[in-house]
A and B are shown apart, each in its own frame.
Chain A
Amino acid sequence: MTTRTRYHRLFVAIASVAIVLATAIPLHSQHLENRATGSVKNSGTIRFKSDTGRYKNAAPFAAITNNVIEFAGTDNLFTDLDGFTASSTVLGQDPAWRVPGLVRYKKTGTARQNLQPRYYTNLENADEAPKWIPDSVFVGGEYLITLSGPRTYNGTFTYDGSQPQYLTSERGMSGNVNRYNNMTIRNSVKNVRDSDEVRMDGIFTGETSAPLRVYGEFYWGSDSYAFADIDIDTVGHLETGRGVSFLHEDVSVRNGDFVIPQGSDTVFVMPTGLIVLRNADTARLVMGARTRLDILGEFRNEHPPLVNVSFDSTSLVHYTGTQTPQIVQATVGTHPYGNLMTSKGVKGANGDVHVYTDLTVNDTNIVMIPHTMSMTTGRALYTNLAEVVGRLRRDLRRGDTSVTYVYNNEETFFNFIAKPDTLTLDSRPQTRPNAYDPTTDVFRKLTVTASGEWQALVRAGYRASDIPSPWDPTASERLLKMYNAYPAPNERALKLTPTLPPTYNRRSLAQSTGIAYVELFGISRSGADNIRLDDGNDLLLRGSRDTLRAIASGRWSNPFTWDEAREPEPIDRVIIDGFTVHVGYVRASDNYAVAERYPDSLSQLVIVGAMQNSSLLFGSTGTFNTFSYVPAAGVDMRIFRQAPALVPTLSQDVTATDIDGGLVVYPSSTITVTNLLLGADATVFNAGRLRVGIP
């Protein structure tokens, strides 16, 4: 290496060191250090220009006043003299040491400017440098954003002034850049100004001390907790976030929108909370698709037309308060609930309630009286024996005859053969129906009204509480039948037998989980007395033991021989008139092989009428050949039919042909009856043993 080269390198090295020393190393600290005896009275601006400049303080708080402190560096701080940020004399370390005046973070260029977590009075972000806003920034006065570069919010930003404050617009559409992350408000009323738009990404907390006035647009981020009143006015707009929201106090909408948008999680109106829509078209509640509003407190719409609500058909409003009753807010048909659910305490209603999709009633009843629960063709679902008490109306114009439409409880429905436009069932448990007989009838008033003709399989549910007093011993749930019951002044009940025999299906209370039912096929709004349930009449459930009538030729034990589709019991009274009924063997008329259930006490009374083919035949099947009516005084067999010709009796007739003979006893068969009354010209053909009287 030449001498020249060595010197050249030496010069370069010395020059480099000099450059570094002269330009890069801050050789003096660049702070404001206010010591214990110092006072700083600033009614102008104190500006920190270096990146690391600090406002250090050891003096009492009273020694400090401030107009503007401007941080123009990247990492300016408030500290104590030793550089700590949290000791007792550091400005902004707690509310008592809140930095007075305005702290402005103002920096040009692209280097990020970091804000310090502090209690500020007023805070401003200015100039184009990006701002990094950490957790625990508290603003007690005004928060200003002046042509600021992008602001990234972390943790929670808190408005905590004791005087009313405005929430400053941040309009970022996603993430936490130019959009608050978490926000907490406390200590005074906070306002979202008209034309302002405040958006956030995280959790909103409105503390009890901080009512919120929304006059602009406010979009919550994820979860939200509102512990104080919220007013929405001057076309304000408040949208809940994607998380759950808890409203502990009132949300009052005077002129604006309270929106639960699609994608939002459940909004809870807590027991102390209320959503109230004031009397204005523009006081609106909007629920988007698949949203849910759980009301433990109250929801009230004070606008009588009730057209200021919009519920998506997939939305759900759930009344789940424990107050008795909790009132379900009325809706109108043009603005119905999407899905409606109730649970916990008993519910009432302040008007007609319209539901577009499904109704779910859990735990306790909804008492609609004197209003109407109105549905279309959605499902009505019930748990824990809950019911809709009062009118449940369905608009069936879009209905289907293949669908079962559940009405007031889980065991009450209509399955239409022909459907009307609308059908309303007014179900009132423990209420006297028309033509009520307390010894035989269910104490439940079921009134059907419809627009348009209908015919249906009808199931009517009832509960144990609907049978409040003991029935007559002869009455039974097993005998429950449906009647068309007329109101006063001519109260009467006509038994419905739409088919012969009627196709009843029953489940007793003992077999049920709490709601028993009677079901009958073929009831119609019009037609003959035996099939018709008049519009406005009651559907009476009566468990009386009516006289059984044969409605077909067949075996005594065959239910389809009788008008109640059941075999006569010993306590029954029986009329056979116009048909041939046989006992003890099989005939081709019905080929019914089941033996009589009570061969030694067939019934209390049997009358064989005078019409053609009225016959009662006694035969035998092997040793099954001995029969008797109830062996007691007052039990009669009465025969009135006169046979037009001799009836062959050498062997029991097994054909399907009717026999016109009155009483016929075939060989090998024995029948005992206490009293036998034979009418004028009546005929008896005895080829077996006929015993009259009790031995």
Chain B
Amino acid sequence: MNCPIAPYRPLSIVLMLCTIVMIVAAGMSVDVSAQTMTINGAQVHVRENVLMVVNGDVQHLSGEVRVYDDATLRVRGTARLFQGGWYMLLDAYVQVVNDLHISIYGTCWRYAAGSLDVEGSIFNDGDLNNEGEINIGRP
């Protein structure tokens, strides 16, 4: 059987590849990553000037996450904070690509003067403190 692509010009092949990339991209924006970082009683220190990326969700069952000055924490999924706290100090930058859930026992504290970007929604049952900037959604 002949491959149906074979007769086509390179432009058509490029178009097909682009289509596949777009479908994947669309799927990524809809779906959460299958990968999860779970924090259960740990103390996570994201020290000054470093970058930490979670290519998936964060399940924060207990413990603390501290993001220090000029550090970046990027969560390319949804963050769920069940107990404990996230503390973003000074010019720390935290990005959550999907939603941020803060449960009744959770605390999210954005100190001045950096920003927390949540591109989805923030669902808060606990304490949300902001002294810097919290950006919700995308334009």
What is A's interface to B at a CB cutoff of 8 Å?
Answer: 3-4, 7-8, 11, 14-15, 18-19, 21-22, 27-50, 53, 72-73
Contact = CB atoms under 8 A, between A and B. Distances in A.
Given A30-B121, A33-B122, A21 B29 contact: yes
Contacts of A72: 139
Interface in B99-137: 99, 102, 104, 110, 112-113, 119-137
Given A11-B16, A22-B22, A46-B134, A32 B122 contact: yes
A8 B19 CA distance: 12
Q: How large is the interface on B (under 10, 10 to 19, 20 to 34, 35 or more residues)?
A: 35 or more
B1 interface: no
Contacts, number: 132
Contacts of A39: 124, 126-128
Contacts of A29: 120-121
Nearest to B112: A44
Contact of B130 (A30, A36, A40, A53): A40
A16 to B, nearest CB: 9
A38 B133 contact: no
A31 B120 CA distance: 7
Contacts of A15: 15, 18-19, 22
Given A15-B18, A28-B119, 14 more contacts: A3-B4, A18-B25, A22-B29, A29-B120, A32-B134, A33-B123, A36-B125, A37-B125, A38-B104, A38-B126, A42-B129, A42-B134, A43-B131, A49-B139
B122 A41 contact: no
A1 to B, nearest CB: 14
B119 A27 contact: no
A49 B136 contact: yes
Nearest to A57: B124
15 contacts: A7-B12, A18-B19, A18-B25, A19-B22, A21-B29, A22-B22, A22-B29, A32-B122, A37-B125, A38-B104, A38-B128, A40-B124, A41-B127, A45-B134, A49-B139
Contacts of A14: 19, 23
B10 to A, nearest CB: 14
A317 to B, nearest CB: 59
Contacts of A37: 104, 125-126
- Chain A to chain B: the 4 pairs with minimum beta-carbon distance, closest first: A30-B137, A50-B137, A18-B22, A21-B26
A22 B26 contact: yes
Nearest to B23: A18
Given A32-B122, A38-B126, A46 B136 contact: yes
Prevailing SS type, chain A contact patch:
mixed
Given A8-B12, A48-B136, A28 B121 contact: yes
Contact of A11 (B12, B113, B130, B134): B12
B34 interface: no
Interface of B: 4, 7-8, 12, 15-16, 18-19, 22-23, 25-26, 29-30, 98-99, 102, 104, 110, 112-113, 119-139
B31 to A, nearest CB: 9
A39 B7 CA distance: 63
Contacts of A34: 124, 128
Prevailing SS type, chain B contact patch:
mixed
A41 B129 CA distance: 5
A44 B123 contact: no
Nearest to B104: A37
Contacts of A53: 136-137
A7 B4 contact: yes
A128 B123 CA distance: 31
B131 A44 contact: yes
A32 B137 CA distance: 9
A7 B29 CA distance: 27
Given A30-B136, A49-B135, A43 B125 contact: no
Contacts of B137: 30-31, 48-50, 53, 73
Contact of A47 (B16, B23, B120, B135): B135
Given A11-B12, A15-B22, A18-B19, A35 B124 contact: yes
A6 to B, nearest CB: 10
Contacts of A49: 135-139
A49 B139 CA distance: 5
B133 A30 contact: no
A173 B35 CA distance: 61
Contacts of A35: 123-125
B53 to A, nearest CB: 19
Nearest to B127: A39
B92 to A, nearest CB: 13
A45 B115 CA distance: 9
B23 A28 contact: no
A65 to B, nearest CB: 9
A543 B62 CA distance: 116
Contacts of A48: 136-137
Contacts of A43: 112, 129-131
A264 to B, nearest CB: 47
B45 to A, nearest CB: 23
Nearest to A46: B134
A21 B31 CA distance: 12
A44 B133 contact: yes
A53 B137 CA distance: 7
Contacts of A19: 22
Contacts of A40: 124, 128-130
A41 B130 CA distance: 6
B19 A32 contact: no
Contacts of B125: 35-38
A576 B96 CA distance: 128
B12 A47 contact: no
A44 B111 CA distance: 8
A37 B101 CA distance: 13
A45 B127 CA distance: 16
B133 A31 contact: no
Contacts of A32: 121-122, 124, 134, 136
A238 B30 CA distance: 59
Contacts of A27: 29-30
B5 to A, nearest CB: 8
Given A11-B15, A30-B137, A44-B110, A4 B124 contact: no
